[in-house]
């Protein structure tokens, strides 16, 4: 059974930093693209970033470029999101998800339960 478990969320002041983690199990982590998607309270889904199997390609939402960094450690079956210079508008539940598909046409087939990040003074 595919499992994705996020952690690392919490309350942080504007301008602060936080590192989210996602531990994967039940599948061969190193064979899949992985992604972070967020959902502000009461709002819809917003893709944040994704990374190729070996970390050689990474893509970001424009509003987080230069502030967030996605990374992975395939030896630890783990995905990370380093979030710096946090803003109030980054407040959201952050989900990690696995990408499936082929030839750069990927949908999100398994999701973690999410971790809440609150940016407030």
Partner 1 sequence: EIVMTQSPATLSLSPGERATLSCRASQTVIRNLAWYQQKPGQAPRLLIYGASTRATGIPPRFSGSGSGTEFTLTISSLQSEDFAVYYCQQYDNWPPFTFGPGTKVDIK
Q: How far is the CB of 59 from partner 1 (least distance, A)?
A: 4
Beta strands 115-119 and 105-111 are unpaired
Nearer to partner 1 among residue 9 and residue 16 (C-beta): 9
Distance CA 121, CA 85 (A): 13
Nearer to partner 1 among residue 45 and residue 88 (C-beta): 45
Nearer to partner 1 among residue 29 and residue 108 (C-beta): 108
Residue recorded with tokens 């030839």:
103
Q: How far is the CB of 109 from partner 1 (least distance, A)?
A: 5
Are 85 and 13 within 8 A, CB to CB? no
Binding positions for partner 1, rule: CB under 8 A: 35, 37, 44-47, 50, 59-62, 95, 100-101, 104-114
Nearer to partner 1 among residue 12 and residue 51 (C-beta): 51
Q: How far is the CB of 41 from partner 1 (least distance, A)?
A: 12
Q: How far is the CB of 108 from partner 1 (least distance, A)?
A: 6
SS (H, E, C) 47-95: EEEEECCCCCCEEECHHHCCCEEEEEEHHHCEEEEEECCCCHHHCEEEE
């Amino acid at each position: 059974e595919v499992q994705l478990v996020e952690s690392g969320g919490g309350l942080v002041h504007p301008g602060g930093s936080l590192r989210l983690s996602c531990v994967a199990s039940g599948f061969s982590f190193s064979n899949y693209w992985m992604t972070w998607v967020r959902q502000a309270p009461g709002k819809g889904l917003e893709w944040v970033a994704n990374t190729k199997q070996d970390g050689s390609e990474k893509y970001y939402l424009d509003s987080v470029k230069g502030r967030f960094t996605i990374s992975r450690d395939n030896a630890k079956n783990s995905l990370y999101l380093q979030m710096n210079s946090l803003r109030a508008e980054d407040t959201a539940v952050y989900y990690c998800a696995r990408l499936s598909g082929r030839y750069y046409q990927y949908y999100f087939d398994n999701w973690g339960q999410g971790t809440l990040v609150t940016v407030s003074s």
